[in-house]
Structure 1
Amino acid sequence: MNYVVETFKKYASIKGRARRKEYWYFILFYFIVAFALSFIIQLTGLTILQFLSLILLPPVITVGARRMQDIGKPWWYSLIPIYGFILATKEGDKGSNAYGSDPKAL
Structure 2
Amino acid sequence: MHWYVDVLKKYAVFSGRARRQEYWMFILFSVIVSIVLTIIDTVAGTSPVIASIYSLAVFLPSLGVAVRRLHDTDRSGWWLLIALVPFVGAIILLVFLASEGKPHENSHGPNPKLVPAH
1:59 to 58, 61, 67: 61
State the percentage of identical aligned residues.
Answer: 37
State the distance in 2 between where 1:21 and 1:64 align.
Answer: 12
Offset at residue 78 of structure 1 (A): 2.7
One-letter amino acid matched to 1:83 = I
Offset at residue 54 of structure 1 (A): 1.3
Unpaired stretches in structure 1, ≥5 consecutive residues: none
Between 1:15-24 and 1:46-55, the stretch displaced more is: 46-55
Offset at residue 48 of structure 1 (A): 3.6
- Whether contact under 8 Å (1:16, 1:99) holds in the other structure is yes
Unpaired stretches in structure 2, ≥5 consecutive residues: 84-89
Write out per-residue CA displacement over residues 57-78 of structure 1, whole angstroms, 9 at most, x where no aligned residue.
1111111110000000011223
Offset at residue 13 of structure 1 (A): 0.7
Aligned residues between the structures: 106
Structure 1: which 4+ aligned runs deviate by more than 3 Å?
none
Structure 2 match to 1:98: 107
Structure 1 match to 2:87: none
Structure 1 match to 2:27: 27
- Whether contact under 8 Å (1:68, 1:88) holds in the other structure is yes
CA RMSD, Structure 1 to Structure 2 (Å): 1.2
- Whether contact under 8 Å (1:37, 1:53) holds in the other structure is no
One-letter amino acid matched to 2:57 = I
Name the larger-Rg structure.
2
One-letter amino acid matched to 2:105 = S
